[in-house]
Amino acid sequence: MNGLGEFIREQRGGRSLREFALLCGVSHTYIDILEKGYNFRSGKKPIVSTEVLKKIAAGIGVDYLYLAALAEQHEFLPVCTEADDMVSIPVLGTVPAGVPVEAIEDTQGWELISKELARRGTYFALIVRGSSMEPRIMPGDTVIVRQQPDVENGDVAVVMVGNEEATVKRVRKYCDGISLLPNNPAFAPTFFPYREGEESPVRIIGKVVELRGQV
């Protein structure tokens, strides 16, 4: 039984997901995930943070602690607590460490980083799937990413290949092209040559600055 999801569905009533999401200040996709109690993209129960629960509680006029109790009772991931020296960043979705798929998905939860780190740039979190970055980065791990258009040789980055695909890889730049390198020796590096008069198909989204493995 999905107590939190059932409660949200009851409170939404006849309103559409988009109308209810706008009321709460949360994406309609995430409201749908919470109602179902299952994230079909990651195959896991949804991440429920303090910030999201407070937004929903304010939107429907209930006590935040009541929603927190519902979330914990039905075995959602633990509710995060925010200290004065921490800030929330969005978990934007999943990124493969293997075959690239659709790049950035709707916000699926929140991670906490220090305010000191947050002052150094704009950050987001992504969930890795696929095995090409094993054993250092495992499927289901969360990476903290600082948005930036370039990285140093050897940095691990989130990159887009073409217009709609993203992947986590180690970046190696050469005078005639750029390579995306896996950690797993079972996967081959991919080289993208520079072509005169054409933009590189590889666009760097940001640098991976922290790895948070699964518990």
List residues with catalytic annotation. Answer: 132, 169
Rounded to whole angstroms, what are the CA distances from 55 to 29, 65, 67? 15, 12, 11
DSSP state letter for 12: H
| Best CA proximity match to 163, nearest among 115, 202, 119 | 202
Q: Which helix (H) or strand (E) holds 24?
A: helix 17-24
> By the 8 A CB rule, do 80 and 109 touch?
no
200: which 2 tokens? 């590189």
Polymer length of the chain: 215
Compute the distance between CA of residue 11 and CA of residue 160 in angstroms, rounded to an integer: 39
